[in-house]
């Protein structure tokens, strides 16, 4: 007897990242009654490029990496999105993340489309010199897709301001001085004040708005943060401004917990000295899995994708989950959290502070006029508050979860832009 078709047999946890993001998109398309013909246009990418990235390693070997730049949609403006260096950065993942950028830039209403890039490599085992050679070659290979009015990369997982400096230099050597070609640069090279902290700060601003709208008292609320890279560490440093207490943080090496609250600045210093949060004074060790299931008020996944799935969603005790990472909750995990009455602040809203300040950086580069940090943070705050209010109003108005509301708003905007341009 023939078994069920392959797709029917797969549980939602087995979905690829792109299938999962497409499911979120399809639900929004159903909700807003998007025309079938537009579904195909908006689900897939406008353009996808796979490149070979040969790198001479320090030991003399030539290693050939594979890199991608996926340009999902540019109806609302130039393509925008980060570059990640990670062993899992394959075409499907980069495609999913590119689509998320389209929806994210639409939610915060900045004039960009969505793209993502990635090189499949274990950046953490590579020397700085190797990473610089990789970055320069990758930039050369995708350069003809880029442009200050075409496609503007930024940092993402395992890339940072220094990576952007190398990208800008590689591009500028060929095309002339072009600071606006990437965002997230060092401040000394045209980066914006406040960009490094922006994603974490945006999550804090969103959480503050959620607290006000949902009547959640954040004063004294306990917070657990999974991931202590740029986003997680800045979030942990800034969330104290809301009166919250960070009781747990983690990184790839493991997690730490202190019931009375961690001294986040001391943890940051400990990481600078030892390379990990593990072993910070006054903390006990926990695993990354245990961190997710702690009895806290707010859980902030700020590391990689799909850490909350149908395998553990039932054990999440936090009342609010703020998605600082991209796609940390699988569709099946999302349904379970929803069923358990959790408030999930979706990635395309919660972590949009980074790309928002990237927009400010790009605008400053083009105008050749630097903003003070106060102005950057004030504009960021305005943008995040407006986005939250719009998503929250849609969610309550239509009686739908925040993720569906955010996707619905975003898909409507991009659909409208594509139609106005006469693209379809
Ligand atoms: N990588 C960040 C994100 O996923 C920032 C992208 C950007 O600034 O272009 O939102």
User: Which CATH number fits the domain that encloses residue 323?
Assistant: 3.40.50.720
Q: Does 81 contact ligand 1 (Cβ within 6 A)?
A: yes
Q: Whose CA is nearest to atom 8 of ligand 1?
A: 355
Asked if residue 133 has pLDDT above 50, the reply is yes
Say whether both 254 and 150 belong to one domain. Answer: no
Q: Does 151 contact ligand 1 (Cβ within 6 A)?
A: no
Asked if residue 31 has pLDDT above 80, the reply is yes
Asked if residue 12 has pLDDT above 90, the reply is no
Run of H or E residues at 73: strand 62-73
Asked if residue 82 has pLDDT above 90, the reply is yes
Distance from chain centroid for Cα 304: 9
Say whether both 177 and 200 belong to one domain. Answer: no
211 inside domain: yes
CA of 339 to the centre of ligand 1 (A): 30
345 inside domain: yes
With beta carbons less than 8 A apart as the criterion, state whether 25 and 42 touch.
Answer: yes
CA atoms within 13 Å, Cβ hemisphere of 64: 3
Say whether both 202 and 346 belong to one domain. Answer: yes
Last residue of a domain, one of 333, 350, 367: 350
With beta carbons less than 8 A apart as the criterion, state whether 88 and 81 touch.
Answer: no
Phi/psi of residue 271, nearest 5 degrees:
-65, -40
User: Which CATH number fits the domain that encloses residue 53?
Assistant: 3.40.50.10860
Say whether both 175 and 131 belong to one domain. Answer: yes
Average pLDDT for residues 260-286, to the nearest whole number?
Answer: 97
Asked if residue 7 has pLDDT above 90, the reply is no
Average pLDDT for residues 113-119, to the nearest whole number?
Answer: 98
**For ligand 1, what atom is nearest to the CA of residue 357?**
8
Asked if residue 311 has pLDDT above 80, the reply is yes
**Domain with 158 in it:** 41-182
pLDDT of residue 3: 35
Closest CA to 258 of 283, 291, 225: 283
Catalytic positions, written as ranges: 116
Phi/psi of residue 23, nearest 5 degrees:
-65, -45
Asked if residue 24 has pLDDT above 50, the reply is yes
Sort strands 284-286 and 254-257 into parallel, antiparallel or unpaired. antiparallel
E strand segments, 142-198: 151-155
pLDDT of residue 11: 46
Q: Which of 107, 184, 376 to mutate to test the pocket of ligand 1 (most atoms within 8 A of CB)?
A: 184
Q: What is the pTM of this model?
A: 0.96
Average pLDDT for residues 100-126, to the nearest whole number?
Answer: 98
Query: How many independent structural domains does the chain possess?
Result: 2
Percent of the chain with pLDDT over 90: 96
Average pLDDT for residues 330-350, to the nearest whole number?
Answer: 97
pLDDT of residue 423: 83
Say whether both 206 and 281 belong to one domain. Answer: yes
pLDDT of residue 308: 97
pLDDT of residue 424: 82
Provide the pLDDT confidence category of residue 9 given band limits of 50, 70 and 90: very low
Say whether both 174 and 262 belong to one domain. Answer: no
Residues 6+ apart with CB under 8 A from 46: 71, 72, 73, 74
Provide the pLDDT confidence category of residue 247 given band limits of 50, 70 and 90: very high
Asked if residue 2 has pLDDT above 50, the reply is no
Q: Does 348 contact ligand 1 (Cβ within 6 A)?
A: no
Q: How many beta carbons lie within 10 A of that of residue 379, not counting itself?
A: 17
Average pLDDT for residues 128-151, to the nearest whole number?
Answer: 98
pLDDT of residue 149: 98
Query: In the predicted model, what is the mean pLDDT of the chain?
Result: 95
Say whether both 292 and 154 belong to one domain. Answer: no
Asked if residue 13 has pLDDT above 80, the reply is no
Asked if residue 250 has pLDDT above 80, the reply is yes
pLDDT of residue 6: 37
Last residue of a domain, one of 319, 350, 381: 350
Last residue of a domain, one of 334, 350, 366: 350
Find where tokens 């979120």 sit: 24
Phi/psi of residue 319, nearest 5 degrees:
-80, -35
Say whether both 150 and 204 belong to one domain. Answer: no
Q: Whose CA is nearest to atom 5 of ligand 1?
A: 355
């Amino acid at each position: 007897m023939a078994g069920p078709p392959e797709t029917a047999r797969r549980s939602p946890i087995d979905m690829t990242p792109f299938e999962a993001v497409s499911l979120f998109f399809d639900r929004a398309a159903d909700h807003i009654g998007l025309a079938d013909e537009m579904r195909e246009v908006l689900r897939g990418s406008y353009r996808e490029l796979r490149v070979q990235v040969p790198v001479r390693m320090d030991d003399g070997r030539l290693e050939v990496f594979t890199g991608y730049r996926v340009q999902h949609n540019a109806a609302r403006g130039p393509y925008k999105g980060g570059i990640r260096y990670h062993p899992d950065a394959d075409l499907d993942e980069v495609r999913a993340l590119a689509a998320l950028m389209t929806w994210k830039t639409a939610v915060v209403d900045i004039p960009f489309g969505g793209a993502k890039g990635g090189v499949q490599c274990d950046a953490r085992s590579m020397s700085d010199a190797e990473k610089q050679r990789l970055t320069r070659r990758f930039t050369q290979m995708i350069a003809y897709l880029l442009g200050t009015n075409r496609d503007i990369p930024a940092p993402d997982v395992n890339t940072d301001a220094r990576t952007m400096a190398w990208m800008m230099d590689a591009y500028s050597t060929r095309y002339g001085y072009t600071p606006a070609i990437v965002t997230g640069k060092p401040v000394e090279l045209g980066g914006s004040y406040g960009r490094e902290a922006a994603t974490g700060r945006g999550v804090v601003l969103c959480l503050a708005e959620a607290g006000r709208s949902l009547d959640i008292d954040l004063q004294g609320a306990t917070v657990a943060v999974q991931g202590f890279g740029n986003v997680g560490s800045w979030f942990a440093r800034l969330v104290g401004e809301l009166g919250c207490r960070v009781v747990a943080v983690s990184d790839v090496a493991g997690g730490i917990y202190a019931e009375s609250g961690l001294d986040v600045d001391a943890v940051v210093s400990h990481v600078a000295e030892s390379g990990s949060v593990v072993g910070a004074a006054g903390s006990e060790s926990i695993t990354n899995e245990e961190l997710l299931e702690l009895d806290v008020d707010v859980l902030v996944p700020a590391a990689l994708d799909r850490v909350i799935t149908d395998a553990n969603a039932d054990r999440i005790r936090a009342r609010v989950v703020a998605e600082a990472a991209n796609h940390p909750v699988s569709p099946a995990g999302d349904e379970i959290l929803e069923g358990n009455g959790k408030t999930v602040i979706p990635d395309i809203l919660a972590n949009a502070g980074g790309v928002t300040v990237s927009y400010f950086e790009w605008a400053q580069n083009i105008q050749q006029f630097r903003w003070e940090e106060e102005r950057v943070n004030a504009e960021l705050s305005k943008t995040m508050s407006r986005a939250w209010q719009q998503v929250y109003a849609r969610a309550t108005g239509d009686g739908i979860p925040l993720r569906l509301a955010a996707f619905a708003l975003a898909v409507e905007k991009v659909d409208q832009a594509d139609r106005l341009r006469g693209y379809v």
